[in-house]
Chain A
Amino acid sequence: MTDRFTLARTAVRVGARGLAVLAAAGIAAAAVAAAALVPWPDHRAEAPSIVVQPAETGQVRVCPGPLLSIGEDPAAATTATSVGATSVISGALPADATITETPLAAPDNARADADGAPLALTTEPGAVDAGMLAGAQSQTVTRESLSGFAAASCTEAVAESWLVGGATDVGRTGIVMLANPTAVAATVDVRVIGETGPIDAPSALGIIVPPASQRVLSLAGLAPNVVSPVVHVTSTGGAIAASLEHSVIEGLTPAGVELVGPTAMPAPMQVIPGFVVPTAGGIAPADDHAEGDDFPAVRLLATGEEPAQVSIGIVAEAGGGGSTVDVTLEPGLVTDVPLGELDAGTYTLSLEGDGPFIAAARATTGAPEQQTDPDGADPEASVDLAWTTATMPLVDTAIVAVPRGPSPVLHLANPGGDQVEVRYTLDGEERSLTIAGGDAASADLDDQSVVELAGVAGVHATVTFSGDQALASFAVHPPGPLDSPIRVYPR
């Protein structure tokens, strides 16, 4: 009897304790489940910030100045001297804004007094919006050592630019022009990368460019016998507007000149609009013995650490099917890729890669052999050279100055998916142009005019000139990021 009672008591006790443990474990499990399953509300603080619109500042554009020639003066065979003056045209929106032209000091050019110096175009702070000042220059030379037509836009001074073009093998001359329009001395490093990799040139590091002046370097002095150079210019202190003069002599005959402006910054996608191929012909992309300048080609450099696969899409501006060239870029090695046989016409090159790279395309008006060959059919044959650089997408509005030159054409490429309607003002008359997504268009311009563009957000634009013994192009640049609004968190 007692035993049974004790037993029952024990059973009750054990049962109660078991229930207690179960209850505690249940509460624990429920707590974890509630934490995991119930969608508790979140509270996330918003960081306060304001978008700062930088105070308006005077817009500055730098025109590279007259074409230079090395060895023009027999007494000073290594110095560059100018050959003739350039014609500069500038414009701004609003059109009545005062544009001040300030010549920069050009201590490296002995004839600067006669031919003129690089010009800094400035406006008063607030007179024009960012990007609404444009200038361009052009020059035709016919010398024993230099002939052809060159045009360039006046660009903003920046801290870093890539110049794709030039060559320093036999008959090719490259001159790097570094203009510092700012009030601060610039310390500039110029690095040249060739087809065999970066070229060691200590003398090009730490070049001081004084305020408001231009320094000139001979590319051959930095990197002799390079077929495919790319010039990387970086500066600290003042900003630099860099450009590269590329001239060719076949034998004893000058065979073209071009002023190459900075190309678009490294990116996995580049667009080269308005690539003019004046004469049909070319070399197959696979031909790795291509020499000389007289075939359409693209110069590429992968700037990353990894090899880049780049696919080059070549589409005629007029429409119709295109072709594609695939190349593999080794990092740090410049590659010139012939674009195959192309019909004469204007093309849009779309380059897509799996790593950042830079690009520019080259074309000539004809083979120099036509002149120099003793049997040459036509000593007067047109020979000039042009580099068409990759461009940056424009913001909504832009302004283009068109200098003197033969048949200027504005080429517009719309790599985006959406159709855009571009409005432009020509001769005070507003016109419009509709470009479907992925398509391109062009408009003939008058020389020595200023064209206002609107509705061009995301559009790439280039101005080309082509004529007898004349081929040139320059990119239309969006304003640099320096003036754009920036979000600031003051804590």
Chain B
Amino acid sequence: MFPRVTAILVVHRGGDHLRRTLAALDSQTRRADALVVVLTEADADARELVSAASPTHVVELSQRLSFGEAIRAADRILDEPASDADALWLLAEDSAPTPDALAALVATLETAKSVAIAGPKLRAWNEPDRIAGFGRTMTRLGRSVALVDDELDQGQHDGLSDVLGLDPAAILVRHTVWRALGGFDPALPVVDDALDLSVRARLAGHRVALVPEARVEFGGSGVAGPETGSRARTVRRRERATRAAQLHRRLVYAPVATLPLHWLTFLPLALLRSLRLLLVKAPGSIPGEWAAAFTTMFSGARVPRARRTLKHARTAGWSAVAPLRMQPDELRRRRQHAAEARRARARGREQELQFLGTGGGWVLLVSVAASVALFAWLVGASGVGGGGLLPLSDGVAALWRNAAYGWRDIGTGFVGAADPFAGALAVLGSITFWAPSFALVLVWLLALPAAAMGAWFAASRLTERGSVRAVAALVWAFAPPFLIALGDGRPGAVLAHALLGWLAFAAFGAATSWAAAATASLLFAAVIAAAPSLAPALIVAWVVALAVSGRAWGRLAMLPIPVVALALPLIIDQVVRGNPIALLADPGLPVASAVPSTWQLALGFPDDSWGGWDAFFDGVPNVDFRLALTALILPLVLLAIAAVIAPRIRRAVLALGVALLGFATGVGASHLAVATVGAAEIALWTGAGLSLAWLGLVLAAVVALDAVRRGPALLGFVAFAGVLAAVLPTAIGIAADRVAIAPAAERTLPAFVGAEADNDSRVTTMRLTPDADGSLRATLERGRGSTLDEQSTLADTAETLSAADEQLAEIAGNLASRSGFDPDAAIREFGVSFVLLDAPSDDADRAAVATAERARTALDGNAALIVVGETDFGALWRFVDAQADAPAAQIPANAGGWQAVLITVIQLVVLGATLLLSIPTGAGRERDRGSSVRRATLAAGSDLETEPVAETETEPVAETEPEPVAGTVPEPEIAEPTESDADGASADLGKEGDDDR
């Protein structure tokens, strides 16, 4: 009997796909005996086309069903198959067969009775020489793998016949087998539906065959199988469906005994695979990974139903399909192939900076030499103190505890959020874990070279010229706010300046690479942690960058995530307290500074010292050193302003905008004082804002110098010489150690207390400091004294006193008075063992001296105290009844409660994920986005130009290439040869063609 073939065509929308498919069906040499069209939410265009084709049946579905469900709906209206030879041809609107396709498929079913399913060779729509799909198989672990994926069709696979599985489009299935197997598994709506059907057919004793002669052009628009394409959303959806299908099949195919085990491994596996996805720079796939795990774990009756269906039809064992799985050596070969392709793609990106070739090594050498010359007295020191520097906590555990939400061990102590800066300190202290305080010495010694290198790399994104990069690095490293912060001992400002250049470098690359974006986000967090006053300016810069970044915004958007994770507890605490402006407070030990005038700010001096020039010219009449100083800084400013006539005006405007933002930050900071110490208010440090302004000036100057045809080096070094002369007094002051900081022992309390702290790490000292207006400052110090990582802006900026603070004041005030107060309350409430009375400073006013005398008399006359004696830090008393390990001095157990655990876990997850993402393992995995390779190619010669071909190679590893080549990304690197006023000798390949005039 002549077999009856029913073609089932699933249609969603009309248009060219459907028109060609219908025409192809019409022109078959062996036409289908019946045509059933399933309209799933079809549009009018589709209806018109379908009715014109006069199908046998039309099935209307009012909702968008999967391919399998649509076929099932069509099958319902069909009669029972008359014979085994009757077949269903499963077509989608975008599968246009060649005229002889059906004939070839039918011939296969006819000649081999054991073949139940025959599949054609799927070729790309409009590209008939590329194979879109030709059979599918599974690895031993059950992952679905395409046998052929996006290859040029030269008949190289036409020998394939028996396969494990197929892609769903245009397969010919025996109708009886279809009914016996129950059709596609409803739990596999998109991916692996045909593979699963094939596997079940195989297990039922049938064969699945490929028919190379049957060729079908397949559009991959998502009606049958997953939607193809490389748009980020499509990829993410496809990967999620693939993973969900794999997990579902795992549960369906596994022996029943191992089911719970599989079920339990889903979440740990999702975690591990997420880590891997971060490492391979595919963070967008992570939500899909988890969604797939969860939906499969809780899919209700779908797995049992699928298992029943499978069991029902199964006649053969799994060993029957084993030879058809992809063999490990083949798998290994494919992996090697993919890695090779990645390497090939990555090649050419690494060398673009030409660090040594453009004199980076010399700049590093000069900056190291300058650092050693400035801080010669610090070389060999075990710690550095003075100004805003204190030792770090003695153990790594304590460092990290102080970086986490929970007990803030400063003063009387309280539960609250840690400053993000404490996290930065914990990282630094962990580097020198054997002596955490030594990390600060390293920071001071390495800050200058680190800053110089950061600016060098940032400049390398803007210019190819070694001399201009060198000028940028040196002008940045000798910035007045940086040197003054170094001399004043301001760790936050120093870190912010040292990292800003690197942040600019990483941010330039963030649009093209996940690794760079993650690195930039970590640096963004570090800079804001070190100098919160920069947060508004940096956020404005980020918003502007987002607005002009076009399609790269996805990567730029992640920039603030780590800093938000770090700072959110603090933000909530301060907002709840009603003092959000206090978030700007400089972290670390609050150090008072004189507020600079606008003139000083405009020259880059963050305090009222004129960079030491005032002392230099003290007593020299008739010289206004301020004008001279202005003349020294002016060349840099003029150069920066001249950047607007450079061909790349957009960069110039952005750089100058950064300078303006920084200056505004500095001016704003000069009007704010949010923290207090004792009676004194602590003005915000304007240096952080000035550092940002300086960065903008340096980058703008680089843009200007890069556009100069002749003599950029000379111009640049004139500007540098001016800056160097301006900071010379400051530098001399540092080199001669006439600054606030000095090599320091790790002690801020008398040795007597230190000895006690060896036995009792929580030994408590009440420190009384006579303050300006005859008042008294009372603080508690535990153990060896307060440390830098214990400092908390939450404590410094509180506008009201806590009950414990009031109690401390009460006790301290009474101890400093002749009083009937029970002095042992200090032991009961706070576990105090010692009282230290700071000697008033030499220039203290009379009231402070009188207060010191009063307190001394009262403490001397207090029978509860015995005099220990005069120390380097002041007069020391000890409580007669002092207790070792006083209960009131201990940190309350479980201080932060569950919030501490939750917050810490969230912060660790976010930071850990960002860190993994920032590790540059993704070289070659991320789609190359143009410029860098092309530029390197142009620079290095033409031998690399053949490399991008490697991109067309197969990659079996699930991989995201979320964005196609960006056409509109405003990144400086986007190379698109532009007209250039220059004679083309310069390497100016910037793309801002529109902006040139």
User: From residue 35 to 83 of chain A, which have CB atoms closer than 8 A to chain B?
Assistant: 35-36, 40-50, 52-58
Q: Which A-chain residue is minimally distant from B776 (CB atoms)?
A: A488
1/0 contact trace for A104-135 toward B, CB 8 Å?
00000000000000000000011000000000
User: From residue 396 to 450 of chain A, which have CB atoms closer than 8 A to chain B?
Assistant: none
Q: Say yes or no: B821 contacts A489, CB within 8 Å.
A: no
Q: Say yes or no: A491 contacts B796, CB within 8 Å.
A: yes
Tell which of B674, B678, B799, B860 touches A239, judged by Cβ atoms closer than 8 Å: B860
A48 contacts across to B, CB distance below 8 A: 676, 798-801, 805
Complex Cα–Cα for A50 and B682 (A): 19
Q: Given the interface contacts A35-B601, A237-B867, does A159 sit within 8 Å of B776 by beta carbon?
A: no
Q: Say yes or no: B812 contacts A490, CB within 8 Å.
A: yes
Q: Say yes or no: A24 contacts B644, CB within 8 Å.
A: yes
Q: Determine how close the nearest CB of chain B comes to the CB of A236; give it in whole angstroms.
A: 5
Q: Given the interface contacts A46-B676, A237-B860, A490-B806, does A159 sit within 8 Å of B775 by beta carbon?
A: no
Q: Say yes or no: B814 contacts A52, CB within 8 Å.
A: yes
B678 contacts across to A, CB distance below 8 A: 47, 489, 491
Q: Which of A159, A485, A490 has the most CB of B within 10 A?
A: A490
Q: Say yes or no: A57 contacts B663, CB within 8 Å.
A: no
Q: Say yes or no: A45 contacts B671, CB within 8 Å.
A: no
Looking at the complex, which of B67-75, B150-158, B846-854, B896-904 is the stretch in contact with chain A?
Answer: B846-854
Q: Say yes or no: A482 contacts B676, CB within 8 Å.
A: no
Tell which of A13, A44, A158, A183 touches B857, judged by Cβ atoms closer than 8 Å: A158
A20 contacts across to B, CB distance below 8 A: 644-645, 649
Q: Given the interface contacts A49-B809, A486-B776, A489-B778, does A238 sit within 8 Å of B860 by beta carbon?
A: yes
Tell which of B675, B795, B810, B850 touches A52, judged by Cβ atoms closer than 8 Å: B810
A-B pairs under 8 A by CB, number = 199
Q: Say yes or no: B775 contacts A488, CB within 8 Å.
A: yes
Q: Say yes or no: A57 contacts B818, CB within 8 Å.
A: yes
Q: Which B-chain residue is minimally distant from A57 (CB atoms)?
A: B820
Tell which of B637, B667, B775 touches A35, judged by Cβ atoms closer than 8 Å: B667
Q: Say yes or no: A488 contacts B863, CB within 8 Å.
A: no
A50 contacts across to B, CB distance below 8 A: 801, 806, 809-810, 813
User: From residue 777 to 813 of chain B, which have CB atoms closer than 8 A to chain A?
Assistant: 777-779, 795-801, 805-806, 808-810, 812-813
Asked if A377 lies at the interface with its beta carbon under 8 angstroms from chain B, I say: no
Q: Say yes or no: B863 contacts A184, CB within 8 Å.
A: yes
Complex Cα–Cα for A42 and B684 (A): 12
A40 contacts across to B, CB distance below 8 A: 667-668, 671
A487 contacts across to B, CB distance below 8 A: 679, 773-776
Complex Cα–Cα for A482 and B857 (A): 8
Q: Say yes or no: A490 contacts B853, CB within 8 Å.
A: no
B641 contacts across to A, CB distance below 8 A: 21, 24-25, 28
Q: Determine how close the nearest CB of chain B comes to the CB of A22; give it in whole angstroms.
A: 10
User: From residue 13 to 39 of chain A, which have CB atoms closer than 8 A to chain B?
Assistant: 13, 16-17, 20-21, 23-25, 27-28, 31-32, 35-36
Q: Determine how close the nearest CB of chain B comes to the CB of A252; give it in whole angstroms.
A: 44
A55 contacts across to B, CB distance below 8 A: 814, 819-821
Q: Given the interface contacts A27-B660, A236-B860, A487-B775, does A54 sit within 8 Å of B676 by beta carbon?
A: no
Asked if A182 lies at the interface with its beta carbon under 8 angstroms from chain B, I say: yes
Q: Determine how close the nearest CB of chain A comes to the CB of B995; give it in whole angstroms.
A: 11
Asked if A160 lies at the interface with its beta carbon under 8 angstroms from chain B, I say: yes
User: From residue 119 to 162 of chain A, which have CB atoms closer than 8 A to chain B?
Assistant: 125-126, 158-160
Asked if B861 lies at the interface with its beta carbon under 8 angstroms from chain A, I say: yes
Tell which of A43, A57, A489 touches B673, judged by Cβ atoms closer than 8 Å: A43
Complex Cα–Cα for A36 and B671 (A): 12
Q: Say yes or no: B861 contacts A21, CB within 8 Å.
A: no
Q: Determine how close the nearest CB of chain A comes to the CB of B540; give it in whole angstroms.
A: 15
Asked if B681 lies at the interface with its beta carbon under 8 angstroms from chain A, I say: yes
A52 contacts across to B, CB distance below 8 A: 809-810, 812-814, 817
B680 contacts across to A, CB distance below 8 A: 47
Complex Cα–Cα for A490 and B766 (A): 10
Q: Determine how close the nearest CB of chain B comes to the CB of A305; give it in whole angstroms.
A: 13
Asked if A481 lies at the interface with its beta carbon under 8 angstroms from chain B, I say: yes
User: Number of contacting residues on B, CB 8 A?
Assistant: 75
Q: Say yes or no: B818 contacts A32, CB within 8 Å.
A: no
Q: Which of A32, A235, A485 has the most CB of B within 10 A?
A: A32
Q: Given the interface contacts A49-B679, A238-B861, does A491 sit within 8 Å of B660 by beta carbon?
A: no
Q: Say yes or no: B801 contacts A490, CB within 8 Å.
A: yes
Asked if B862 lies at the interface with its beta carbon under 8 angstroms from chain A, I say: yes
Complex Cα–Cα for A181 and B331 (A): 96
A486 contacts across to B, CB distance below 8 A: 774-776, 813, 816-817, 851, 854
Asked if A250 lies at the interface with its beta carbon under 8 angstroms from chain B, I say: no
User: From residue 641 to 683 of chain B, which have CB atoms closer than 8 A to chain A?
Assistant: 641-642, 644-645, 649, 656, 660, 663-664, 667-668, 671-682
Asked if A483 lies at the interface with its beta carbon under 8 angstroms from chain B, I say: yes
Q: Which A-chain residue is minimally distant from B854 (CB atoms)?
A: A481
Q: Say yes or no: A491 contacts B779, CB within 8 Å.
A: yes
1/0 contact trace for B729-760 toward A, CB 8 Å?
00000000000000000000000000000000
Complex Cα–Cα for A40 and B582 (A): 18
User: Number of contacting residues on A, CB 8 A?
Assistant: 57
B681 contacts across to A, CB distance below 8 A: 44-47
User: From residue 956 to 978 of chain B, which have CB atoms closer than 8 A to chain A?
Assistant: none
Q: Which A-chain residue is minimally distant from B598 (CB atoms)?
A: A36
Complex Cα–Cα for A237 and B858 (A): 9
Asked if B332 lies at the interface with its beta carbon under 8 angstroms from chain A, I say: no
Q: Say yes or no: A482 contacts B862, CB within 8 Å.
A: no
Q: Determine how close the nearest CB of chain A comes to the CB of B669; give it in whole angstroms.
A: 11
Asked if B77 lies at the interface with its beta carbon under 8 angstroms from chain A, I say: no
Complex Cα–Cα for A247 and B177 (A): 136
Q: Which of A42, A235, A237, A482 has the most CB of B within 10 A?
A: A482
A489 contacts across to B, CB distance below 8 A: 676, 678-679, 771, 775-778, 809
Q: Say yes or no: A239 contacts B673, CB within 8 Å.
A: no
Asked if B296 lies at the interface with its beta carbon under 8 angstroms from chain A, I say: no
1/0 contact trace for A231-246 toward B, CB 8 Å?
0000111110000000
Q: Say yes or no: A45 contacts B656, CB within 8 Å.
A: no
Asked if B856 lies at the interface with its beta carbon under 8 angstroms from chain A, I say: yes
Complex Cα–Cα for A235 and B664 (A): 56
A237 contacts across to B, CB distance below 8 A: 860-861, 867
Q: Which B-chain residue is minimally distant from A181 (CB atoms)?
A: B861
Q: Say yes or no: A42 contacts B671, CB within 8 Å.
A: yes
Q: Given the interface contacts A49-B775, A54-B818, does A490 sit within 8 Å of B805 by beta carbon?
A: yes
Q: Determine how close the nearest CB of chain B comes to the CB of A358; give it in whole angstroms.
A: 16
Complex Cα–Cα for A480 and B601 (A): 48
Q: Given the interface contacts A45-B675, A236-B867, does A488 sit within 8 Å of B812 by beta carbon?
A: yes
Asked if B907 lies at the interface with its beta carbon under 8 angstroms from chain A, I say: no
Q: Which B-chain residue is minimally distant from A40 (CB atoms)?
A: B671
Asked if B833 lies at the interface with its beta carbon under 8 angstroms from chain A, I say: no
Tell which of B412, B673, B775, B809 touches A44, judged by Cβ atoms closer than 8 Å: B673
Complex Cα–Cα for A236 and B682 (A): 36
Q: Given the interface contacts A24-B641, A45-B797, does A481 sit within 8 Å of B850 by beta carbon?
A: yes
Complex Cα–Cα for A90 and B668 (A): 63
Q: Which of A13, A23, A45 has the most CB of B within 10 A?
A: A45
Q: Given the interface contacts A40-B667, A490-B411, A491-B779, does A24 sit within 8 Å of B656 by beta carbon?
A: yes
Selected A-B contacts with CB under 8 Å, 14 pairs: A35-B664, A45-B582, A45-B799, A46-B799, A52-B817, A159-B856, A480-B818, A483-B818, A483-B819, A485-B813, A486-B776, A486-B816, A490-B808, A491-B411
Known interface pairs A54-B817, A159-B860, A239-B857; 18 further A-B residue pairs with C-beta atoms within 8 A, sorted by A's residue number? A21-B641, A24-B641, A43-B674, A44-B672, A45-B681, A45-B682, A47-B676, A47-B678, A48-B800, A50-B806, A52-B812, A182-B861, A184-B860, A483-B817, A486-B813, A487-B773, A489-B776, A489-B777
Q: Which residues of B come within 8 Å of A, CB atoms?
A: 411-412, 581-582, 597-599, 601-602, 637, 641-642, 644-645, 649, 656, 660, 663-664, 667-668, 671-682, 771, 773-779, 795-801, 805-806, 808-810, 812-814, 816-821, 850-851, 853-854, 856-858, 860-863, 867, 997
A-B complex: 5 closest residue pairs judged by Cβ atoms: A52-B813, A54-B817, A47-B676, A57-B820, A55-B821
